[in-house]
DNA sequence: TTGTAAGCGTTATCAC
DNA sequence: GTGATAACGCTTACAA
């Protein structure tokens, strides 16, 4: 019941331990012949190197961390899938760690994770991507990190993001083109910079169309169903209610639809509903809905891709490019 | 920029390395006095032991694996949260690994994960919990593992589960008590043993009430929205449609409700809808719904709890008890 | 192109 | 109660 080690492989292949290590790490200067012999031995013995030993001896741990503070299962699931996919390709492991950006223990939590696991890099998703204490701690430790959908200091670090302003502008313009003049907006959680960006896009499109901005048409929300419902109640109770409501997430869009349903308002017909499709949720339940799709999986994959590029050039602290995954407007399904 | 090691701590505390190690591992035979001195030094230096070194030198890696093959974000999210919570309490790390139970590479994938990370144990969620090749591989390697909601060989290994038969029986009986005689059932994905168990409970309740079983009232489903919608279409198109529909997941229940809505059928009123509440989804969107709540978080927490108990008794291969998290019937919200 | 030797930071073993 | 010292399985020098 003892473990298969690199020694077993080197014996089987008739070479030294170091040569096996060379093959494992794809180093240069290994003859084609010995490389094949080693690989054969590895496969025959079903050898898998100990990550603990590699980490202890080497400079890399082949592990990166994914830090989040997000209660949305769909978001987390897709983000993990995207980051995980890129990690698997590169032979890395992803360590997922939830956190609380408002906790004083935040930087301790992240720091001890890095220390204990000797992480090679970190991916921060919103709202952690804009948590100043966390960013400072990572800078101090000089550990490579990539932010997903950051709202501040966009050029300070590598990051992957979609253009929220443009996306919200597109959708608002779409609703205007359908003839709407009073368009309600349900904003996202205040912790997320995306919420403000979406408001900006909304206002931008209104202004371009010469439609005055009415603060009464903008309601606060927290990205979840309940706040979407509540916001719709408020909007529909206005003296001059909107003819269209644009929700900053699909969960809130579902909440808007539930409220409309409850009040006997026909959708579409009496009310148009649009939303950001963060989670594939609303679109499936309620076909008469127009959405802007946010490619979360792609955002995660791209973030991991940026991060793992550090591997090749350990000296560099930052990459000199950013990757932008653009939002795509879904084909207008309803109105 | 060099790492803080156990040596630094022992110097600071004026004791030997071994003594620091003793404190870290909560071993006996350390005087209260030196223990406090060591703990103070640890805190002062902000020391975090290297997991790689502990794993390499010791018998434990302080890591367990969570293996799943489940496309449901809510399920995975809550399961991870439950398992992760127990791990954190115990100072363990959770490694999440998706897999494909139909792939021939399944046991290789799991095996290499165990080898590379030196996992101390494994948690299998459905449907992996019943994947024979995986179970055999784990048995062969003699690694502790716990199954969540297993369908076969319930007593063969430790596991956490709810009583699906009883839960489905309860719900069906509830619908019967409301006066329903024709109750449709939308079954879950065929890969999951829970699906069959729920059918059993449904039939059991019907029989007890002296209601004949009508196969036409049972529709296949895959736990997702679309299949719920489709199943409802089929049921409502029957010559004698059901007056109540019981869906084996809440996503399917939402699909049923969407179909009813589309067809202009009032819920409740013309149709009662009930479902298993796996994800909190349907209940929030559609209040007029009765659900059986499946405590996924608790199932994960319980599984991790069982698994980590091995830590105390390394010699044992199996625990001699099972933990059952019973399903609880939610207060009848609608009808 | 290949091999030798010295760690990496902890735990296990066995003394004191 | 406490402390030396040898592993653990690999990578990093540095030779050959």
Lowest mean pLDDT among A180-194, A269-283, B44-58: A269-283
Kindly compute the dihedral angle of the four CA atoms of residues B54, B58, B61, B62, in this order, to the nearest 10 degrees: -80
Q: Cβ(B217)–Cβ(B185) under 8 Å?
A: yes
Query: Is residue B289's pLDDT more than 70?
Result: no
**A86 plus A145 within the same structural domain:** yes
pLDDT of residue A73: 86
C-alpha distances out from residue B61 to B50, B124, B299, B301, Å? 11, 19, 24, 20
Distance CA B111, CA B104 (A): 13
Cβ atoms of A70 and A126 closer than 8 Å: yes
**In Å, what is the separation between the CA of B18 and the C1' of D4?**
9
Average pLDDT over residues A127-138: 93
Token look-up 């919608």 returns: B229
Does any domain span residue A142?
yes
Residue A218 within a domain: yes
Q: Would the Cβ of A3 be found within 7 angstroms of any atom in strand D?
A: yes
Residue pair A61/A283 in contact by the 8 Å Cβ criterion: no
CA distance A291 to chain B (A): 18
Tokens matching residue B66: 């969570």
Tokens 């100043």: give the residue.
A132
pLDDT of residue A326: 44
Which residue lies nearest C2, CA-to-C1' measured? A19
Same domain, B207 and B174: yes
Q: Is residue A204 part of a domain?
A: yes
Predicted pLDDT of residue A315: 29
Question: Do residue A84 and residue A36 come from a single domain?
Answer: no
Q: How much of chain A exceeds pLDDT 90, in percent? A: 53
Shared domain for A253 and A307, answered yes or no, is no
**Do the domain assignments include residue A217?**
yes
How many angstroms separate the CA atoms of B83 and A98, rounded?
A: 13
> Averaged over A96-118, what is the pLDDT?
94
Nearest alpha carbon to residue A68 among A101, A93, A105, A92: A101
CA at A97, C1' at C8: how many angstroms apart?
26
Q: In what order do the strands lie in the sheet with B328-329?
A: B218-219, B183-186, B244-247, B272-277, B290-293, B328-329
Nearest nucleotide relative to A27: CA against C1': C1
Which of A3, A43, A44, A52 to mutate to test binding with chain B, by most B CBs within 10 Å of its CB? A52
Q: Of the candidates A146, A76, A134, A84, which has an alpha carbon nearest to the alpha carbon of residue A105?
A: A134
Which CATH number goes with the domain that contains B153? 3.40.50.2300
Residues 6+ apart with CB under 8 A from A83: A64, A66, A94, A123, A300, A301, A303, A304
* A300 closest CA partner among A130, A61, A77: A77
CA distance B112 to chain A (A): 6
B104 and B176, same domain (yes or no): no
Domain that holds residue A151: 58-162+297-320
Q: Is there a domain that residue B327 lies in?
A: no
CB count within 10 Å of CB B212 equals 7
Test A53 with B49 for CB contact under 8 angstroms.
no
Average pLDDT over residues B156-180: 84
How far is C-alpha A23 from the chain's CA centre?
35
- A171 with A75, same domain: the answer is no
In a domain, B220, yes or no: yes
- In this complex, the answer to whether residue A285 has its CB under 7 A from any atom of chain D, a nucleic strand, is no
The stretch B67-83 carries a mean pLDDT of 91
Task: Return the closest-CA partner of residue A117 out of B112, B67, B42, B92.
Answer: B92
Mean pLDDT, residues B122-146 taken together: 92
Residue B235's pLDDT band (cuts 50, 70, 90) = very high
What residue spans of chain A are helical by DSSP H?
Answer: 6-13, 17-24, 32-45, 51-57, 73-90, 106-117, 132-141, 164-177, 193-208, 225-236, 250-262, 281-285, 296-308
Interface check for A2 against chain B (CB to CB < 8 A): the answer is no
**Dist CA A230 CA A186 (whole Å):** 10
Residue the block writes with tokens 């449709």: B184
Within 10 Å of residue A232's Cβ, how many Cβ atoms?
A: 31
**Residue in B80, B116, B255 closest to A50 by CB:** B116
Q: What's the CATH number where B31 sits?
A: 1.10.260.40
Residue B277: DSSP 8-state = E
Domain count, chain A: 3
One domain, residues A315 and A227: no
Report the pLDDT value the prediction gives residue B331, as an integer from 0 to 100: 29
The answer to the question of residue B334 being in a domain is no
Q: Please report how many Cα atoms fall inside a 13 Å half-sphere around the Cα of residue A334, on the Cβ side.
A: 20
Per-residue burial over A249-288, b = 16 or more CB atoms within 10 Å of its CB, e = otherwise = bbbbbbbbbbbbbeeeeebeeebbbbbbbbbbbbbbbbeb
Question: Within 7 Å: CB of A18 and strand C?
Answer: yes
pLDDT in tens, A316-335: 223 333 445 444 333 322 22
Question: Same structural domain for residues B301 and B154?
Answer: yes
Indicate whether A183 and A278 sit together in one domain. yes
Tokens 């969620």 correspond to what residue? Answer: B125
Chain A residue with CA closest to B143: the answer is A1
Q: Report yes or no: B157 and B227 within 8 Å, Cβ to Cβ.
A: no
Residue A134 makes CB contacts below 8 A (sequence gap 6+) with: A67, A101, A106, A107, A110, A124, A128
Same domain, A69 and A122: yes
Tell me the average pLDDT across A228-246. Answer: 94
Residues 5 through 44 of chain A touching chain B, CB cutoff 8 Å: none
Q: Are strands B328-329 and B290-293 parallel, antiparallel or unpaired?
A: antiparallel
Kindly state whether residue A330 falls inside one of the protein's structural domains.
Answer: no
A48 interfacial to chain B (CB closer than 8 Å): yes
Q: Chain B within 8 Å of A225 (Cβ-Cβ)?
A: yes
- The answer on B283 and B222 residing in a single domain is yes
Q: CA B255, CA B250: separation in Å to the nearest integer?
A: 8
The number of helices, as runs of H, and strands, as runs of E, in chain A is 13, 12
Which distant-in-sequence residues (6+ apart) come within 8 Å of B250 by Cβ?
A: B275, B276, B277, B278, B279, B280, B281, B282, B283, B291
Is residue A231 located within the same domain as residue A280? yes
B93 contacts in A (CB within 8 Å)? 95, 117
């Amino acid at each position: 019941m003892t473990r298969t080690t690199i020694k077993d492989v080197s014996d089987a292949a008739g070479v030294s331990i170091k040569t096996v290590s060379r093959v494992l790490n794809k180093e240069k200067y290994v003859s084609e012949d010995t490389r094949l012999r080693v690989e054969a031995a590895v496969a025959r013995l079903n050898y898998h190197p100990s990550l603990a030993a590699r980490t202890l001896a080497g400079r890399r741990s082949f592990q990166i961390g994914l830090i989040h503070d997000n209660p949305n299962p769909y978001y987390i699931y897709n983000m993990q899938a995207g980051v995980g996919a890129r990690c698997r390709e590169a032979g890395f492991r992803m360590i997922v760690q939830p956190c609380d950006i408002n906790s004083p223990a935040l930087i301790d939590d992240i720091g001890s994770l890095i220390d204990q696991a000797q992480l090679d890099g970190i991916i921060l998703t919103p709202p952690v991507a804009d948590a100043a204490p966390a960013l400072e701690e990572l800078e101090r430790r000089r550990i490579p990190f990539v932010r997903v959908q950051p709202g501040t200091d966009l050029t300070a670090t590598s990051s992957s993001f979609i253009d929220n302003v443009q996306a919200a502008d597109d959708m608002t313009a779409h609703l205007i083109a359908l003839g709407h003049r009073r368009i309600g907006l349900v904003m996202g959680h205040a912790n997320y910079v995306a919420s403000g960006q979406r408001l900006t896009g909304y206002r931008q499109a209104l202004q371009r169309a010469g439609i005055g901005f009415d603060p009464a048409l903008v309601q606060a929300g927290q990205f979840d169903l309940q706040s979407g419902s509540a916001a719709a109640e408020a909007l529909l109770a206005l003296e001059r209610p909107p003819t269209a409501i644009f929700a900053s997430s699909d969960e809130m869009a579902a909440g808007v639809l539930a409220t409309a349903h409850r009040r006997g308002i026909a959708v579409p017909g009496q009310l148009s509903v649009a939303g950001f499709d963060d989670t594939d949720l609303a679109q499936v339940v309620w076909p008469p809905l127009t959405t802007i799709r946010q490619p979360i999986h792609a955002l995660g994959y791209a973030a991991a891709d940026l991060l793992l590029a550090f591997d090749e050039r350990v000296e560099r602290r930052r990459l000199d490019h950013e990757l932008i995954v653009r939002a795509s407007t879904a084909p207008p399904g309803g109105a």
